Structure 1
Amino acid sequence: MPVNLDKPHLWKSDSLHSIDFYNDWFLRFAPSTFREQRELKAEEVANALAITDYLRGISIQLLKNNPGILPMLRMTTAPPLARDRLIGLAYTTKSLVSSLEGSAKHPPRIPPRMPSNVLDAHLERIIDVLREVADRDLFPWLDDPNTEPTKEALSRSASVVADRLCGAAADPIIRNAQEQRQLNALGAFLKSHNYTEIASNDLNNLLAMPQGSYTFRCNISVGSDKTSVNIPIDCIVSSHTRQPDALPLLIEAKSAGDTTNTNKRRKEEAQKFSQLKRKFGNTVPFILFLCGYFEPGYLGYEASEGIDWVWEHRITDLLDYIEDNSSLLPRNLAQQNPSLYSSDFMQLEAERFRRQQEVDNSKTPLARNQLGQFSTPFSLAQQISRYTISLLAVGRESRHLLEPAIGSGVFICSIISLNPQNITYTGVEIDALYAQICEELFSEFGCNVLNQDFFSFIESEESQENFDCVITNPPYVRHHHFASETKKQYKEKVLRTLGISVSGLAGLYIYYILLCDQLLKDGAVASWLIPSEFLYVNYGRALREYLYNYVSLIRIHRFDAQNVQFNDALVSSCIITYRKQKPAADLLFSVTRGTYENPAMHYEIPRSCISHSEKWNFSELEQADTEDGIALEKLFQITRGLATGNNDFFILDQWRINEKKIPSQFL
C-alpha cells in the first residue's frame, strides 16, 4: 500500500515542509571550509565593503542603489552562499537575484516592472538572511557596534571575500555532508525501533539478510552474467516480520538544495527501479528517502513510475513499510486515542480532543502550517502543567493564569484535571473555531476565552503585569509565513520594551515569549513548549539573551530526537521554564533530557557557564562538568585562521605516500 505516491493533495504541503527542514539543517550544520582561487579582487571588495559601512549599513535602499554588490555580500557569510541557496533561504525569486547580480551581457539592475512593495519585501528577506549567516569570525565588529575595524582586519576580510568570489562552488561539500546526515538519521530511527546494523560486505544474498537488521551503501548486481553491473543502494532494511521468501526494503536516500538538481536527475531513480524490477520482479520493494527541494513536478514523475517515497521530516511513515504489527512499536507521546480516557474528567478531555480533530480535518495542512496550529498531546500538557503549578507561590488568595495561544484548550483542560486551588484562567485564541471549543467546554470552570490576536491583547492596559503564570505551546510559524510589515512591528516592539534586537529569521514563538514579559507579574512562572533550535542557531540569540539577562531560568528540558511530540509537525522540541526575576550571579538551573517526568539525564548547570551570545550546547557542558582541567578559551583567544586553499601542501596523494614509503597505520 503506497504511503505518499497516491496522495497528490499532500505533495505541495510536504514539499514546503521538506524545504524548511533542509533550510534549517543548512543554517545550523553546513560545512564552513571552501576552496579559494589564486586571483584576487581585493580592491573591488574593499570598495564594496566601504559602501556598506563594512556590512553594518546594509539596507533596502543601499541594494537598490548598488545592486551589483550582492555577489560580494553572498561571500561574506559563513558558509558563503551560492546564488540558488540564497534564493531558497530568502524565499525570493531567481529572476530578481539574477537581475540584481547582472551578467556579462546585462549590467546589475533593479527589475523595472516589479511593484515597489513586493521588491522591498524580497530585499528585506535577502538582507535578513545575509545578516543571520554573516561570518562573524571574519567580521567580528558586527557583534559589537562600538568596535571599529582596524586597517589590518579590513584588509584581511577583503582578501578572504575576494578569494571566495573566485572560489569553487560550495555545493559538493554541502551535498556530501547532507548525504551522510541523512544516513545517520535513518540509522538512528532504525536503532530506536530495535534494528541492528550489519556490514554491507556481509550481505551476499538479500533473502538471507537477518530479520530486524539494516545496512548502508550496498552494491547489488543486476543484468545478465555477461553484462552485469553493480548499482549502489543507500540503505537496505530487513523488517522484524519479513518472511523468508520476501525481499528486504531497498531505500535510495535523496537530498537537494535546489530544484535544478532534482529536475536533472529524476530519471536516475526510475532507471534504477527498472533495473531492480528486471532482476527481482515487479514487486521489488524500492522507495526514496527525501529531504530538500523536491517539488510536486518531481514527485509526479516518480509516482508515474510507481516509485513511492518517505519524507525525512516525517520519517515515521517508514514504519508502514518495515512493520505490520503495531504492538512491536514503542508508543509515542504524539499518539492519542479518545478510547484511552475513562474517568469522568477524561470524558470531557475526550470531547475536547474529538472536536479539535474535527476542526483540524477541516483545514488544509498548508493552512495549519502557516498559522502554526499544532496541538500538544494531553499527556504531555498535563506533565508540564503539574510541574509548573508546583512552582507557584503558596498562599496567594487567587492566581491568574494566561494561555496566550489556547487552541482547543488542552493546557487549560490539563490544569483543571489537576484540581488546583484559587486559579483563574484567561485564554487568547485568534481562530474562532478553536476558541469556540474552549468557550463551550471550559467556561463553567472560570476560563475567560478571548477570540483575538495575542499581539493585540498585549496592548490592552488591563493585561499589563496581570498574570502569575503562563503555560503554553505557542504557534510555530516560520519567519517567511508572516508579512514583512508585521515582522517589523514586532521587532520594534521588542526593541522598545526590552532593548533586545531580534533577527529577521526568528520564528513567531520568539516574539510570543519576549512580548509576554510585560504581561507577567514579578515572580511569575512561565513554561513554554517550543522548538529547541533557539539553543544553537544565530536567530535564537534574542531569546537566549532574554533567558540569560532578564529572568531566572529554572529548567530546560530537551526531548530525544526520536521522541516526536507532534504527529503533524516534526520539530525537535524543548520546554523552558523560568521565573520573572533578575537572575542571581550564582544561579543554577536544571538541564534534563528524555521523558519530561522521568528524564534519563539531569544536570545542574551554573549560569556562569553560558552566555547569550554563544550557542547553548549542553552536551559539551555536561561533559566538561565531569572532567578536571580548564577550557582553552579561558586562557587564549581562539579564532579561525585564513584558509589558503592550497590542499596539495597539506594532503598527501597516493604517489607521494608510496614515494616516501609511509606505513598505512600512520596515515
Structure 2
Amino acid sequence: MTIAPHQILPRSGPEREELRKKGQFWTPEWVADAMVSYVLQDDCDEIFDPAVGTGAFFHAAKRVSEKLNVRVHLSGSEIDLAALESGKKNGLSGSDLFGVEHRDFIRNPPRRSYSGIVANPPYIRHHYVSRETKDLLQKAFWKISGIKLDGRAGLHVYFLIKSLRLLKPNGRLCFIVPADVCEGVFADTLWGWIGKNYALDAVTTFAPEATPFPGVDTNPIILMLRNAPPQDKFKWCICNEWGTRSLYSWIRNGLKKRSYKGLKIRERTLIEGLSTGFSRPPTKKQKGIPLYKFACTMRGIATGENRFFFLTSAEIKKENIPLEYFVRAIGRTRDVGEDTLTLDHLDRLDEIQRPTYLLSLSDESVGALPTSVRSYLEKGVNLGISSKSLIAKRHPWYRMEKRVVPPILFSYLGRKNARFIRNLAGAVPLTGFLCVYPRINTPDFVDKLFLALSDARTISNLHLVGKSYGGGSIKVEPRSLEKLQIPLSVIKDSRLHLP
C-alpha cells in the first residue's frame, strides 16, 4: 500500500509550521476503512464527519458501503474551503460533498443528532488555541458536566466532546486522536464524564513501525464509542503491521477476539486501561516508593527565544559581552550523548558551535549595564524579541528565569529514550530537561538516587506517569515525574534510604 502525493507531510519549514497550526493529517485508507466499518453497523446508514478536510472518510464510506451493498448518506462540516477543494481534486464529486456545510464545528455545531460519526479531528495543541477559544470551550464543558477541563486540552478533545453530544441513542462514534485524550493532565476529568455517559467498545493503538502518521510527533489511538449504557470492559488492540487489512476485518466482524495477522487483541477493564493508558499494554505494577519522597522536580528554563539568549562563546565574543552575565546551560537532549554531563562536554559542544552560555540578567536597569550589553538588548528590541508572548510578560523583558543547578537532569522528551543524567557540569537546563533536586544534597545520596533512577526497572515505570508521543517518545511533566515509582528491589540494590 503506497502513500499518495497529497498524503506526504512536509518535514520542516513554514509548511510544517502551518501543518501544526491547522492540525490536518490525512488518514490512510486502511485506517479510514476500518473506522467507517465500525460506524456502519446496527443498520446505520449515515456518516457525519465534523472535520471533513479532504474527505478521507467519505472516500472510505463509498468503498465500504459498496462492499456491504448499502446506501450511506454523507454529511459533515469543514472550516477550510481549500481542503474541500482538494477533496474534489482527489475524486469526490459535488454530490458526495452536498451534505457538507462550511462552518466552524467547535463554535457552531449542527443542531441535529446522528447515528454515525467518524473523524480525524484537527490535532491542534493547546499552545495554538487562543485564550478566548479556550475560555469558550471550558465554559461549554462546564455547562455539560459541571466540571472545568484543564486548559491544556487541545482542540481535538473538544471535537470529541461535542461529537459525543450529537450521537443518537445507540449511535456510534469512531475517532482517531492523540493518546493524550487518555494520558494527558486532563484525562481523569474527561473520562470521568465519558465513562459515566457512554460505552467504550474498543481502543486500537499502533506500534511505532505501524503508525498511520509516519514523521508526526503524536501517538494515535482509535476510540470506538456508543451512546449506550456504560460498560466496565472494552476490547484493546495493538496493530503491529502498517497497512494491514486485518484491522478492517476485526472491526467488521464485531470486535470478536480472534487471531488476526498483525493484531494483538485482549479484553481490559476501563479502570485499568485509564490507569495504565490506552496506548500502553496492561502492566503489572511493582511495589515501590514515589520519587517525591526522595526529590522534588521543576521544569527547565524557558527563555522565550533561545536564538537571542542562548549563545556560543564565539557569539559572545562578537558582541563583546562580559562572560559574567552568562551561566553555563544545556539546551538540547541530543547534545548529551552520555548519562553524565561534564564541563569538558560543554566545552566540546561550544567548539562545534553549539550554544552553552545563557544570558542571565536580573532586574538591572539598562543604564546600569555595560555598553555592549545595552547594545545587544537594543538589538533585541529592534528584532521584536521584547514583544514575544512569553518575554513580554517579564519586567524587565530581558530578565531571565533562575534555577539552582540541579544535580540530576531528566531528558523527558526526545528521539532517544527518556533518561536521567548526572549533572557534573554545573549547568542549568532549558526546557528540554526537567530538574531533579534530591532532598539530601550530599554526593553519596545524590549518587545513590541517580543509580536508582537510572535502573531499567525504574525506567520501565516511566510510561505509567508520562504522555506518549510518536516513535516511542514519552513526555513527563514535573508533577507527574514525582509520582514515578522506584521499585523496592531497586531501592535495596542501590542502598538508597528515605531522607
TM-score by length of 2: 0.50
> Retained in 2: the 8 A contact 1:400–1:425?
yes
Q: Deviations over 1:172-230 (max 9, x none)?
A: xxxxxxxxxxxxxxxxxxxxxxxxxxxxxxxxxxxxxxxxxxxxxxxxxxxxxxxxxxx
Q: Does 1:469 align with 2:116?
A: yes
Q: What amino acid maps onto 2:51 in structure 1?
A: A
1:432 to 81, 84, 108: 81
Structure 2: distance between partners of 1:405 and 1:535:
21
1:641 to 293, 303, 317: 293
Q: What amino acid maps onto 1:587 in structure 2?
A: K
SS at match of 2:107: helix
> Retained in 1: the 8 A contact 2:10–2:16?
no
Q: Does 1:559 align with 2:213?
A: no
Specify the alignment match of 1:601 in structure 2.
264
Quote the RMSD (CA, aligned, Å): 3.7
Structure 1: distance between partners of 2:445 and 2:15:
54
Q: Deviations over 1:386-435 (max 9, x none)?
A: 2442xx213x6xx3311011111111111101125242111211011122
Distance change >3 Å, CA 591–CA 393, structure 1 → 2: same
Structure 2: distance between partners of 1:376 and 1:473:
7
Specify the alignment match of 1:366 in structure 2.
17
SS at match of 1:576: strand
Specify the alignment match of 2:107 in structure 1.
456
Distance change >3 Å, CA 471–CA 620, structure 1 → 2: closer
Q: What amino acid maps onto 2:49 in structure 1?
A: E
> Retained in 2: the 8 A contact 1:424–1:447?
no
> Number of residues paired by the alignment?
286
Structure 2: distance between partners of 1:666 and 1:450:
62
Structure 1: distance between partners of 2:8 and 2:273:
41
Counterparts of residues 11-26 of structure 1 (less than 5 Å): none
Counterparts of residues 388-407 of structure 1 (less than 5 Å): 388-389=39-40, 392-394=41-43, 399-407=45-53
> Retained in 2: the 8 A contact 1:564–1:571?
no
> Retained in 1: the 8 A contact 2:203–2:278?
no
Specify the alignment match of 1:415 in structure 2.
61
Q: What amino acid maps onto 1:456 in structure 2?
A: R
Q: What amino acid maps onto 1:645 in structure 2?
A: I
Distance change >3 Å, CA 478–CA 445, structure 1 → 2: closer
> Retained in 1: the 8 A contact 2:179–2:278?
no
Structure 1: distance between partners of 2:36 and 2:56:
10
Specify the alignment match of 1:375 in structure 2.
26
SS at match of 1:364: helix
Structure 2: distance between partners of 1:358 and 1:535:
26
Q: What amino acid maps onto 1:616 in structure 2?
A: G
Structure 1: distance between partners of 2:10 and 2:53:
11
Counterparts of residues 347-366 of structure 1 (less than 5 Å): 364-366=15-17
SS at match of 1:413: helix
Q: Deviations over 1:225-255 (max 9, x none)?
A: xxxxxxxxxxxxxxxxxxxxxxxxxxxxxxx
Structure 2: distance between partners of 1:369 and 1:567:
15
Q: Which structure has the larger Rg?
A: 1
Specify the alignment match of 1:616 in structure 2.
277
Structure 2: distance between partners of 1:506 and 1:666:
39
Q: What amino acid maps onto 1:336 in structure 2?
A: I
Distance change >3 Å, CA 568–CA 666, structure 1 → 2: closer
1:455 to partner: Cα distance: 1.7
Where does structure 1 differ by over 6 angstroms across 4 or more consecutive aligned residues? 356-361
Specify the alignment match of 1:287 in structure 2.
none
TM-score by length of 1: 0.38
Distance change >3 Å, CA 572–CA 648, structure 1 → 2: same
Q: Does 1:572 align with 2:219?
A: yes
Specify the alignment match of 2:138 in structure 1.
491
Counterparts of residues 54-453 of structure 1 (less than 5 Å): 335-337=2-4, 364-389=15-40, 392-394=41-43, 399-418=45-64, 419=66, 420=68, 421-438=70-87, 441-445=92-96, 447-453=98-104
2:181 to 517, 534, 542: 534
Distance change >3 Å, CA 387–CA 360, structure 1 → 2: farther
Structure 1: distance between partners of 2:53 and 2:15:
17
> Retained in 2: the 8 A contact 1:554–1:579?
yes
1:368 to partner: Cα distance: 2.5
1:647 to partner: Cα distance: 4.5
SS at match of 1:538: coil
Specify the alignment match of 1:589 in structure 2.
235
Which is helix-richer, 1 or 2? 1
Q: What amino acid maps onto 2:192 in structure 1?
A: E
Q: What amino acid maps onto 1:374 in structure 2?
A: F
Q: Deviations over 1:145-185 (max 9, x none)?
A: xxxxxxxxxxxxxxxxxxxxxxxxxxxxxxxxxxxxxxxxx
Q: What amino acid maps onto 1:433 in structure 2?
A: A
Structure 1: distance between partners of 2:284 and 2:9:
47
> Retained in 1: the 8 A contact 2:204–2:237?
yes
Identity %: 19
Structure 2: distance between partners of 1:427 and 1:438:
13
